[in-house]
Chains A and B, each alone.
Chain A
Amino acid sequence: MFNKRFLSPKVSQKISYAILFCATILAIIPVSIIVFIIIKNGASAITWEFLTSMPKDGMRGGGIFPAIIGTLSIVLCAITITLPIGVCAAIYLNEYAKDNLLTRVIKLAIVNLAGVPSVVYGLFGLGIFVMFLQLGVSIVAGALTLSIMELPVIITTARGALSSVPHSFREASLSLGVSRWQTIRHVVLPNALPGILTGAILSIARVSGETAPIMFTAAAFYVPHLPKSAFDQVMALPYHLYIISTQIPNMPRNIIFGTALVLLMMVLSMSLIAIIARIYFRKRRKW
């Protein structure tokens, strides 16, 4: 990069490191500014009433309670579906699968599932769950759509957790005559559990902010009551933010910022909990 005739290697190292440092600052400062802007403008809107009451005056007043409940119900429903399937898939890949064509195809499928655009998941969910299976625009349809979307993330993190359990654990159990599944069930899984759970929390956080997949499958513009069953349409926080920031004229700014702040805090605090839990469990690990 720097010709040594002009600069000694030491000086060029210093300059290069400074450039790399500036690039890192450039990567993280704008995002920090985004978070700061939302906190600064949104904090004034956050009151107990805002969090726990229904919207009023065509969303221009009142609170965002139904949107919070809606998002929570879709997201929790989705993780309940994905977690067992994803963990089983990870067990298959890590404990049973041999290095053959099938395994390679599964891995390729996971990579691709992770790369499918969120709006395409929305299309798929609309086509198969809402229309073909006739679930209608509902919590279930949205949750099923999101559960397929988060499957690759769950599989990947669960697999990482399983593969970090040392081989000697399995060998000790197998050598005592314990069957393969029993070994997985009583030795491998308990040791991998913290890793699997932090992965699950992280994925709940990510999915809570998704708008495109639930736009046509679960979310409604406005529902005057809380969902009564899993087949109801619901309001959802990210979709609500999209609606009030683009579709409703004369929307009070602090309500939009307040909604953005609630969504952001929900997502960031869950992610932070997962990250801290991961650091804690790694330190405590005995092997």
Chain B
Amino acid sequence: MKYLLLIITIILLVACVEHPSNVTKVGIQPKIYPDYIGVTIPSEIAPMNFSLEEENVECIEVTVKGVNGGEIHTNGEWADFDIEDWHNLTRQNIGATLKFSVVAKIEGKWKQYDTFEMYVSERPMSDYGVTYRRIAPGFETFSNIGIYQRCLANFEEYAILESRAVDGGCMNCHYSNRGNPDQFSLHIRGKHGCTILRNEDGDKYVDTKTKETVGSCTYGYWHPGGRYCAYSLNRIYQNFYVGPDKIIEPWDAVSDIAVLDTKTNELIMSSATSTKDFETTPAFSADGKTLYFCKAQYRDMPAGYDKVCYSLCSITFDEEHGRMGDSVSVIIDVEKIKKSLSLPRPSFDGRWLMYCLSDYGTTPLNRMESDLYIMDIQTGETRLMDEVNSREADAYHNWSSGANGWFLFGSKREDHIYSLLYFACVDETGHSTKPFLMPQRNPKKYYRDNLHSFNAPDFTAKKVELDVIQTRARVMSESREQVKVKH
């Protein structure tokens, strides 16, 4: 019996390991999934595991050599690198190139491909990981959704809060202050709806609906000082398209901008940002003195859905007195080019502002033509990020908390429906490296089986700690601090 067990164990151990023999050189680079050829990576990133795109691959053997030294191997159904070995190699080759040599057994024959490279950036990605909401793609409702965090140095994913924990309440985006999870905002909708606010005073469960405002706090962005958080107050509806090319169009019936003082639970309003026009998606500048937001001329909705075009605007913000300015400056007027600007995101070093443009509306990921643009805040020059964009929707970008040029964004380039996460790095000239898909242990299987969109992603400097039991108790208790408008 014991010999039988030994034999079975040996068979299982060696079953997936084959060594190349009679190798033929094919003279081309392999087609790999995800397409990691020529990408630039931070040294801290998890192993860039990949498969060959071909379906009938029996085994692949990959050797990675660093120009500055070091070498790792993997052999199996897909390239699955050891995490520790990988990090030793990347750390040894910061600022240098990794050369990947791939030999694959396809239909019984071993083929050797030309080597391809990845470049290990000198810029560190100092974040612990990313946060995102995983949700079935935009079909108006939800079932089992949650806010998750993923460590970028390995493949571990943790739930921050799932809807099941709060009796099916839908969850909105998780907004932290420049990636700092000690200050975040998380909105829960439904019967036990509330906004969870965390700052240095602890967690608060607030009700942001007031009689004087058009809606509850929706899209948020923290002031760098940590006391204030800007929100758009939206009343959102959505309709389906008739034709098959586009599916659903969310739109605002009304929307304003306000800043919440998290110390006093007061909403700071301004007549300049609470007009009949549509104001949405605020974002503070790196120094906190300017509040960017998008503004579109009022239209009768939903009839005018395809004529709502948002411009990039700004208003001053006085942190000391907790006050917005009286006048709005238009930074990019898109009415003239009949495009709609969304999601302004200033880099934390104050140098760049990334945004996206689509034909109309305020939800760029629903718009196939949505592309990322970058503006030099100092010169006002702006450019289409050709090197990053795809034919499908690209949007929901955010900067790494380390102000090191790394950014992430969501893109539907894989399949037109499910938004996945990509990373890239902007250099001193505002040009970006080739984006790469978030690594997974077995990316081909993971993304093939995935039926969720990675929604509203952001970096997190460290792991988000949220006591789910306590959170559930407080959400279900319905004891809320009421937000009021500051007069």
Interaction A to B:
no
